[in-house]
Amino acid sequence: MASAGVACLPAIRRIAVFGGTHGNELSGVFLVRHWLKDKSELQRPSLEVQPYLSNPAAVQRCTRYVDCDLNRAFTEENLSMPLSDSMPYEVKRAQEINHLFGPKGNENAYDFIIDLHNTTSNVGNCLIMKTSKDDFTIQMIHYIKNTLIHDNCQVLLLENPAVQYGAVRTVAKHCIGLEIGPQPQGVIRANILENMRKLVNSALDFAHFYNEGKEFPPCTLDVYRAFEKVDYPRDSEGQIIGIIHPQLQDNDWKQLKPGDPSFLTLHGRTIPYNGSSAVYPVFVNEAAYYEKKSAFLLTEKVTLKANSVKVSKT
Ligand SMILES: CC(=O)N[C@@H](CC(=O)O)C(=O)O
Ligand SMILES: [Zn+2]
């Protein structure tokens, strides 16, 4: 019998590692291509680990996507759309991925997806989670953070409906996004690739130790919970008239107080942050977010709690 506060959960058997969800974010593309040729680094006795290139057409073109953003395509509407010639490439891909690794929300879905991304913003090592209510994932992230000796790693919670989207990884029962930066689109940097590699290995180690029966005691996890996106200032035609202020640039995760500089116009005027309380911006000046009308995301710090987790023997 489990003692109070211990979540006895099923084993985690099938894990997919996705790269190239965005074809110009190259750390994940290079790692997954490498692992497709030689899986040995990903192998753990209790796990079946599948590396997977999720948007091969975008990878080939070295663009984020071909018709529409694959990491926004996993909506109920898209996944149930009847197949047709006019269907956007990424919607077709979403249905294939849902078939192979899902179905989303179904018992037969993969246990876990690790989705690999890079950002042009200065987030360092960042793990993205979709819910505050998943003990297994909180415990995994807690473990990963503790295995990093010299490096730091922040956790971004995308749970608020204002900042949620149909991400690819949501087809699995549990998931994390790895977001490592700064790295320009279409560029590969050794330090960023190495950091990503360490995080993937650490996540797999955790799943394996868990499957072997190790109990992870209750823990807390400090995360940044996103609640709003902030657009660039624009003119009546929608053209951007203020760029990220030098004092905000590269200052992801650092406190931004009301009145602090956020944008700079080409006339040299500083536009201050006009919120009502201090926030922690993230994804500051991410290249892919200009089209999404997001200059940065606003987050607040919260502490999550997880029960102890242990694999159930049945
Ligand atoms: C820069 C970038 O692509 N970020 C990812 C974040 C995520 O995986 O949730 C995205 O917007 O899809
Ligand atoms: Zn991405």
Residue 2: pLDDT band (50, 70, 90) is: very low
What's the CA-to-centroid distance between 204 and ligand 2, angstroms? Answer: 21
Which tens digit of pLDDT belongs to each residue from 68-127? 999 999 999 999 999 999 999 999 999 999 999 999 999 999 999 999 999 999 999 999
- What is the position in ligand 1's atom list of the atom closest to the CA of 158? 9
CB atoms within 10 A of CB 206: 23
Provide the percentage of residues in the chain whose pLDDT is more than 70: 98
Q: String of b and e for 99-113 (b: at least 16 CB within 10 Å)?
A: eebbebeeeebbbbb
Residue 27 token pair: 């750390």
Catalytic (active site) residue 179: yes
What's the CA-to-centroid distance between 230 and ligand 2, angstroms? Answer: 19
CA distance 125 to 134: 21
Q: With a 6 A CB cut-off, is 282 part of the ligand 1 pocket? A: no
Residue 204 and residue 212 in contact, taking contact as beta carbons nearer than 8 Å: no
Domain(s) labelled CATH 2.20.25.160 in the chain stretch across 230-295
> Residue 314 has what pLDDT?
63
Residue 182: pLDDT band (50, 70, 90) is: very high
Query: Which of 197, 214, 198 shows the shortest CA–CA distance to 149?
Result: 198
Which member of 96, 179, 212, 237 is catalytic?
179
Q: Does position 1 have pLDDT exceeding 50, yes or no? A: no
Domain(s) labelled CATH 3.40.630.10 in the chain stretch across 6-223+304-311
User: Cα 193 to chain center, whole Å?
Assistant: 15
Q: Is the peptide bond before 103 cis (omega within 30 degrees of 0)?
A: yes
Which tens digit of pLDDT belongs to each residue from 214-270? 999 999 999 999 999 999 999 999 999 999 999 999 999 999 999 999 999 999 999
Q: Which long-range contacts (CB under 8 A, 24 or more apart) does 257-264 make?
A: 262/230, 262/295, 263/232, 263/233, 263/295
Query: Looking at the whole model, is its pTM more than 0.95?
Result: yes
> Residue 187 has what pLDDT?
98
* Assigned CATH topology for domain 6-223+304-311: Aminopeptidase (3.40.630)
Which tens digit of pLDDT belongs to each residue from 189-226? 999 999 999 999 999 999 999 999 999 999 999 999 99
What are the start-end ranges of the E strands in 71-218?
112-118, 125-129, 154-157, 174-180
Q: With a 6 A CB cut-off, is 119 part of the ligand 1 pocket? A: yes
**Mean pLDDT, rounded, of the chain:** 96
Which tens digit of pLDDT belongs to each residue from 290-300? 999 999 999 99
Query: Which of 67, 75, 87 shows the shortest CA–CA distance to 23?
Result: 67
Q: Which CATH architecture has domain 230-295?
A: Single Sheet (2.20)
- For residue 14, the surrounding DSSP H or E stretch is strand 14-19
Residue 1 token pair: 């019998």
Give the residue-averaged pLDDT of 143-153.
91
- Which residue out of 18, 22, 113, 283 has the highest number of ligand 1 atoms within 8 Å of its CB and is therefore the one to mutate? 22
Residues in the chain, total: 314
Query: Which of 221, 248, 51, 214 shows the shortest CA–CA distance to 146?
Result: 221
User: Please, which residues have CB less than 5 A from ligand 2, an ion?
Assistant: 22, 25, 117
Specify the 3-state DSSP secondary structure of 168.
Answer: helix
